[in-house]
């Protein structure tokens, strides 16, 4: 179990969180850029000590306690925490193998290191210097170097965000497999919702230094606690209903046709049919009382035409009390 209580002043806001993460799982800190996500990882790793208050414990071992007398602050090198950033920062004068074993006692290729080299597809690059590597291979080396010292916790600070989709997907799968095989605890920072959904068991939605909601992915995606959370999760519009509530529209949580038993049907006219991330979507001009434009994903068997009048059902949409504009 990771337990973190933190007050950390930043230029525009103070990061204030009280959160815990279960051991042996992949957890995501998700939110927009400059939300404070990377600062939290920096505190966990031991690279940040300018906090107002902080308490950090991993499996009952206290690593930070600013309120203790004397204060507790275990240095980064004694925490057993691995940290992989977007910038790999390999040693340019060392080979791939030398980079990987740099932190291993005696800088030896242990059986565990040998397994990492083979598993991450680096056996043919052992003697290669970093400047000859592609971006994907560079990140594989950075990951292997971090795991070589067998950390208790692995922190991932958007290490795959600069890579193309195929390479990113391959490395995501490799991390998932490693976590499953070796029961690691991983805390990853991302501003890409698809990455959080692909890799993590739980998600903490964060903005402006606050964790707005935390839980398993299905719980948070299907039941966002507030419209602020829903917008970050891809909900695009709020549509008011006579009860005084408003329901949130997510393009990917829609089916063509009227099915009031599973959700809220809306009718309108198709303005456009287009592709979005491998799926077909439509843009619909809704009829009264909403009189706004929304988007909905189609299934592979759905066929609609521009100017066609249709009904779309949004499945179990979350509802919010506060009346708001129908447009996001």
The values of phi and psi at residue 213, to 5°, are -165, 145
**In a 3-state reduction of DSSP, which class is residue 169?**
helix
Question: Looking at residues 276-283, what average pLDDT do you find?
Answer: 89
pLDDT reading at 88 higher than 90: no
Which tokens in the block code for residue 137?
């291979």
pLDDT in tens, 60-83: 899 999 999 999 999 999 999 999
Which tokens in the block code for residue 253?
């949580």
Q: What percent of the chain has pLDDT over 90?
A: 73
pLDDT at residue number 98? 95
- pLDDT band for position 35 (50/70/90)? very high
pLDDT reading at 7 higher than 70: yes
Q: How far apart are the first and last CA of the chain?
A: 37
Task: Classify 235-320 by CATH class.
Answer: mainly beta
The DSSP code for 78 is G
Please provide the average confidence, as pLDDT, over all residues in the chain: 91
pLDDT reading at 325 higher than 70: no
pLDDT at residue number 275? 92
Supply the pTM of this predicted model: 0.88
pLDDT reading at 297 higher than 70: yes
Superfamily of domain 2-80+151-222, CATH level 4: P-loop containing nucleotide triphosphate hydrolases (3.40.50.300)
Q: What percent of the chain has pLDDT over 70?
A: 98
Does a cis peptide bond (omega within 30 degrees of 0) precede residue 289?
A: yes
What angle, 0 to 180 degrees and rounded to 10, lies between the N-to-C axes of helices 165-182 and 135-147?
A: 20
Question: Looking at residues 95-114, what average pLDDT do you find?
Answer: 93
> Are 53 and 128 within 8 A, CB to CB?
no
pLDDT at residue number 178? 83
pLDDT at residue number 324? 45
pLDDT reading at 207 higher than 90: yes
d(CA 205, CA 28): 8
pLDDT in tens, 233-257: 999 999 988 778 899 999 999 999 9
Length of the chain: 328
pLDDT reading at 168 higher than 90: no
pLDDT reading at 259 higher than 80: yes
**In a 3-state reduction of DSSP, which class is residue 38?**
helix
Domain ranges of the chain: 2-80+151-222, 235-320
- pLDDT band for position 138 (50/70/90)? very high
Question: Looking at residues 203-225, what average pLDDT do you find?
Answer: 95
Residues 6+ apart with CB under 8 A from 239: 246, 247, 249, 264, 266, 286, 290, 292, 294, 326
């Amino acid at each position: 179990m990771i337990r973190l209580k933190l007050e950390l002043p930043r230029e525009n806001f103070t990061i204030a969180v009280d959160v815990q993460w279960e051991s042996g799982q992949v957890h995501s800190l998700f939110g927009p850029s400059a939300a404070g996500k990377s600062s939290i990882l920096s505190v966990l790793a031991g690279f940040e000590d300018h906090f107002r208050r902080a308490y950090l414990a991993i499996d009952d071992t206290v690593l930070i306690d600013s309120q203790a007398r004397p204060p507790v602050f275990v240095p980064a090198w004694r925490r057993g925490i691995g940290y992989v950033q977007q910038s790999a920062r390999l040693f340019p004068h060392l080979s791939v193998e030398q980079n990987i074993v740099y932190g291993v006692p005696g800088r030896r290729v242990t059986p565990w290191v040998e397994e990492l080299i083979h598993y991450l597809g680096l056996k043919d690059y052992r003697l290669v210097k970093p400047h000859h590597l592609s971006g994907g291979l560079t990140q594989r080396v950075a990951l292997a170097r971090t795991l070589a010292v067998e950390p208790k916790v692995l922190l991932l600070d958007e290490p795959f965000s600069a890579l193309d989709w195929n390479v990113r997907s391959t490395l995501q799968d490799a991390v998932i497999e490693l976590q499953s095989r070796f029961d690691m605890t991983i805390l990853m920072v991302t501003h890409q919702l698809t990455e959080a959904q692909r890799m993590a068991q739980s998600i903490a939605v964060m903005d402006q230094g606050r964790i707005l909601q935390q839980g398993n992915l299905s719980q948070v995606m299907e039941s966002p606690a507030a419209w602020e959370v829903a917008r970050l999760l891809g909900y695009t519009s709020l549509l008011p209903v006579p009860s005084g509530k408003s329901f949130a529209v997510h393009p990917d949580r829609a089916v063509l046709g009227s099915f009031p038993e599973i959700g809220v049907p809306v009718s309108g006219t198709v303005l456009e049919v287009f592709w979005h991330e491998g799926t077909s979507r439509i843009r619909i001009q809704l009829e009264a009382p909403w009189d706004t434009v929304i988007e909905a994903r189609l299934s592979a068997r759905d066929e609609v035409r521009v100017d066609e009048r249709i009904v779309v059902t949004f499945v179990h949409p979350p509802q919010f009390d506060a009346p708001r504009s129908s447009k996001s």
